[in-house]
Amino acid sequence: MAKFVKAITYLVDSRPPDLRNRSFSIRRFLEYGPALKALRAIGTSLPAFQELLTTPASKILNRWFESEPLKGTLVTDAVIGAMQGPNTPGNGY
């Protein structure tokens, strides 16, 4: 999890590339400093990182915790202000 936090920090703390620019390409994006740093931080854990970002919070919590009161407490981070339920794909992070 620490490497995922590090990768996201690189992306959140940087200016995103301009996707409207006609010269934008995936290759150029990967050469973009923060994106490259994030990929290096993730390393071979890219499938797990992708799952964390696209999976519902309920699935992540069910995998790691057994206690319903604890899961109920933790799931509030995924739903408060998001206007989504705990089973909505993409709120696992």
* Residue at token pair 């794909």: 89
Residue extents of the structural domains in the chain: 2-43, 55-93
Q: What is the pLDDT of residues 38-75, one digit of tens each?
A: 888 998 998 988 888 899 999 989 998 999 999 999 99
Q: What are phi and psi of 14, to 5 degrees?
A: -130, 160
Q: What distance in Å separates the CA atoms of residue 51 and residue 29, rounded to the nearest whole number?
A: 21
Q: Which residues contact 6 (CB under 8 A, 6 or more apart)?
A: 41
pLDDT digits (tens, 9 = 90+) for 3-39: 888 988 888 887 777 777 777 777 777 767 788 888 8
The pLDDT of residue 39? 87
Q: With a threshold of 0.95, does the pTM exceed it? A: no
Residue 37, CB-side half-sphere exposure with 13 Å CA sphere: 13
Give the Cα separation of 69 and 32 in Å (integer).
42
- The whole-number pLDDT of residue 79 equals 85
